[in-house]
Each structure stands twice: as C-alpha cells, then as structure tokens.
Amino acid sequence: MTNLNVTENASEQTFDLNPAARQRLEAARQTTLRQRGPFGFSRAGLVIAFAALVLFVLPLMGLPQTNARLISQVLVFVAFALSYDLLFGFTGIFSFGHALFFGVGAYSVALCSLNLGWPMWAGAVLGVVVCGLLGIFTGFVSLRVQGVFFAMVTLAMATTAFSLSGRLVDITKGDEGLSLIQAPDAPDGTTVYYLALALAVVAYFGLSRLINSPLGRVLVAVRENERRAEMVGYNVLRYKLVALAFSSVIAGLAGMVFAFRNGIVNPGLLSTDISLLPLLMVILGGAGTLYGAVLGAVVIECLNFILSSSEFVNNVKNWAVVGPILEHWLLLLGLIYVLIVLFLPFGVVGTWQQHRQRLLGLFKKS
C-alpha cells in the first residue's frame, strides 16, 4: 500500500502546528515537488500521457484492425482495473462482485438501443445513472459488514444478476445475447478504439486527482484505520459510498465500451471470471498504485491474448516436457499468479517502491 501523499496544494491548516511538525510537513511537500515533472504531473503521469499520445496517433498511421481490437480490449480493462483499485487499493473495500457494474453498464446500452429504440448515447447516460445508483444501493446493503463478509455479499449480488440475465430470455435473449451489431448507430472499430483510449486516460488522471484531494486522503485514512477515522469524526459509511459510486460508474462505462467492442452482450459479462480479473490485475501491479493497476491490466490481457491464441498452442504442443503444460494456458496463467503472490506480495510496483533505494544502490555499485 502506498503512504499518504502530501501535495503542495494540500488543504491542511498549519497555523496550529509546532515548529517541528511544520518542518516535517514542508519537507514532505518539497519531496513531492521534486518527484513531479513538468506541468505538475508525476513521472508516472508523464509516462501515461506519452503512451496515450502514441496510442492516439497509431490509427492515423494505419494500425491493423486486429491490433486495434486488442489495444481496445486492454484499454477497457485498464479502466476496469483502475475502478477496482479505487475500492481495494485506496479505500480498503474488498469485493468479489465488481462484474455487477461492468455487466449492468453493457446491458443498459444494449437494452435501451435494441428494446427501446433509444440512441446509444442516451443508453450510455442512463447506464451511468443506473450504475451509480446501483453502487450506492450495494453500499447501503453490504457496507454494514466488513472484510470477507462484504465480499460475499457483493458476490451474491453479482451471481443473482448473472442468473437473472440467463433466465429472462424474453428481455436479454439468454445465453444467445443481445447483438449490438444490429443497432443503427453502432460505433465502428476506430470509434471504439478512441472511446476506450479516452475512458482509460480520463479514469487514470481523474482518479489521480481524486486520490490527491482531501477526499482521497480521507479514503486512504479509512483504509489504514477505519475505526480511528471514525473516532476523528469522519462519516466512514458516507465516504465508502462515494468511493463505491465513483468505482461503479467507471466500471459501468468500461462495460459499455467492451460491449461496443465485442458487438454482443451476454450473461458472461456478469460472471465470476470477470469479477476476478480486476482483482488479479490490481494484485499483480500493486494495490494502491494507479499505474500498478495499469501495468497489471496490460500484462494480464496481453498474456491472455498470447497464451490463448491458436498459433501459440500449435507452436508449443510438440515441445518436450513443457509443451503439454504450455498448451493448457489457463494452468500456466494460474502458475504465474501463484508465483507473483509468493515472491511479489505487494505487486510489481509495490515491491519496487519498497525496495527501490536498495535496488538503485546495487545498480550504482555494479
């Protein structure tokens, strides 16, 4: 977990601090300023901005459609992982049912467009409202309990939604799904690509701004010690509801763009597999670090694409000893997750932050 950052525009009042406390606060502010690059962006923010600029230019240079679809999917799950990191990494809310918002966002657009004849943008607006209200409702129902009990309640709600989407055949078409290709205003592949890019960029910098605001500092305080934050006078339930509402809206938008990208909406978007993906991405990259969630989403989605491709399976199936293992790519992916948990318990970025000074010292000596 990351420590509480102190920014140069912090709203804390310092007139009642003793000289030693003021000196420590000023030192923290100067450290934060040194870590920032041009235009007030952090180094990670500059890297994300540069990567976004490159991705923006690629379609203009003739990016193949297959590669564009892969990048679109990666960007969708970047936004999805960021939404989960706000809950798990910064607020300390552990959920097993985040696919609930992902799937509801996708179904909102599909049902409004195909069953009601609405424009897709109107369905998207309604989906944002529905996901926000659903997040608040989920919080009121389940945030009274903590830890694994909250996770089980969210899992139960997502499982109920998954079951209903398969049983309400007259509305959702069941396992056959709703085809957005039939919609008159369905976006083309290039439009979906830029929608996914815009969503990922806005989610990253928007959440970065939120985390470094007074609201974000309270969320981190709730994560570190919920009882102490409540004793200080913060309404913990209210702050958790705000975090859950923001997270559910971003997850719902990710589900909408994913529906545009796939062209079909089926109960699989509400499954437990989808709920586990952002959790694994955040754990891989490092909980409580936004760029860690970005890294985890990129690595996992690229591994899924490579290991599940028919070319990879055909190339490795004749290898001695390791061939049968690599052929079952889900087994290989699970082994990678186990190794990460054992040797990188704080994720790639979290482990780097903890041991950065030691590693940099070794590099300098070598």
> Residue 4 carries which DSSP code?
P
Residue 251 located in a structural domain: yes
pLDDT in tens, 86-119: 998 898 888 888 999 999 999 999 998 888 888 8
**What's the structural domain count of the chain?**
1
Specify the pLDDT at position 343: 77
CA–CA dist 260, 257 (Å, integer): 5
Residue 348 located in a structural domain: no
Residue 137 located in a structural domain: yes
- Place 254 in a pLDDT band, splitting at 50, 70 and 90: very high
What is the length of the chain?
Answer: 366
Residue 304 located in a structural domain: yes
CATH of the domain at 182: 1.10.3470
Q: Is the pLDDT of residue 324 over 50?
A: yes
Average pLDDT over residues 226-235: 85
Which range, 69-83, 141-155, 285-299, is most confident?
A: 69-83
Contact 7, 212 (CB under 8 A): yes
Contact 186, 260 (CB under 8 A): yes
CA–CA dist 360, 354 (Å, integer): 12
Specify the pLDDT at position 6: 38
pLDDT in tens, 136-181: 998 888 777 666 777 888 888 899 999 998 888 888 888 888 888 7
Residue 160 located in a structural domain: yes
Q: Is the pLDDT of residue 79 over 90?
A: yes
Average pLDDT over residues 213-229: 87
Residue 113 located in a structural domain: yes
> Residue 14 carries which DSSP code?
-
Tell me which residue range forms the domain holding 159: 44-308
The pTM of the full predicted model, rounded to 2 decimals, is 0.82
Specify the pLDDT at position 14: 38
Residue 53 located in a structural domain: yes
Query: Would residue 265 be called left, alpha or beta, if left means φ above 0 and alpha means ψ between -120 and 50 degrees?
Result: beta
Q: Is the pLDDT of residue 17 over 90?
A: no
Q: C-alpha dihedral over 43, 45, 46, 47, to 10 degrees?
A: 90
Specify the pLDDT at position 233: 84
